Amino acid sequence: MSAAAHHGGHHGPHSHDEHAPRWLNLSLAVILGVAAIVAGVTAWRGTVLNGHAVGNFTLSTQSVNDANSLAQEAERASTSERALYVNYQAAVANGEPARASAIYSMMDGSTRRAIEWWREQPPAERPLTPFKSANPEWAAPATIIDARASLERASALLVQANDDLNKSHSLEFIAALLTVTFLLGGLSGVFQSPRAKATLVTASGTALGVCLIAMVVLW
């Protein structure tokens, strides 16, 4: 009886030592499997965000170029139409109808409509020149507004591009941090002690949990 009791008592701890690693190995397999999936998804999402950032940077640059072109166009048109209008008024004042008619024919449709609208206004309400923002037929303000809208769009795209780029870099860091999960999981196989294995598996799972939370936040 004493020998049997001694024999049974001798196998109790060994039974515990034999079964504990199985659970640890199963937990480790699950952790490393999830970590591998998370690493793949993180790399994919980082690539997508990086592509979005590049695309938004390109669109932002294009919007800035469009805004500059519109502003230059508005400036050229405004300078040209003002010069033509001054010469036209001078020809009319000097009694040169042929010259005034020739200058008037050189004006574009928008300038002519702006002058006609200006002439139709009551003297008390008429602006000093046709080229005022109150004149709905004057095209320059609309062009300037379009230029400003293009600049605002460029700014918004630039902010979005920087945000996507920062997220992409953060996801790259998470992907690098996932290597800690694999490292700790790999080290657990070196130790025979269930306690040491459990410690490393727990640390590996904790690292994976941190990476999962960070990935969800940055998604």
The verdict on residue 205 lying in a domain is yes
Number of domains in the chain: 1
Residue-number span of the structural domain to which 85 is assigned: 23-218
* pLDDT value of residue 216: 84
* pLDDT value of residue 17: 43
DSSP state letters, 117-142: HHHHS-TTT--SSS-STT-TT-SHHH
The verdict on residue 10 lying in a domain is no
Cβ-based neighbours of 28, under 8 Å, separated by 6 or more? 185, 188, 197, 201, 204
The verdict on residue 17 lying in a domain is no
* pLDDT value of residue 6: 45
Reported pTM: 0.58
Tens of each residue's pLDDT in the chain, 219 residues:
444 444 444 444 444 444 446 777 788 788 888 888 888 888 888 889 889 999 989 999 998 888 888 888 877 877 888 888 888 889 888 888 898 889 888 888 888 888 888 888 888 888 888 888 778 887 777 777 778 888 888 989 999 999 988 888 888 888 888 887 887 777 776 667 778 778 888 888 888 888 888 888 877
The verdict on residue 1 lying in a domain is no
The verdict on residue 9 lying in a domain is no
The Cα–Cα gap between 205 and 102 comes to: 85
The Cα–Cα gap between 86 and 83 comes to: 5
The verdict on residue 7 lying in a domain is no
* pLDDT value of residue 21: 62
Q: Where are the beta strands (DSSP E) in 32-155?
A: none
The verdict on residue 207 lying in a domain is yes
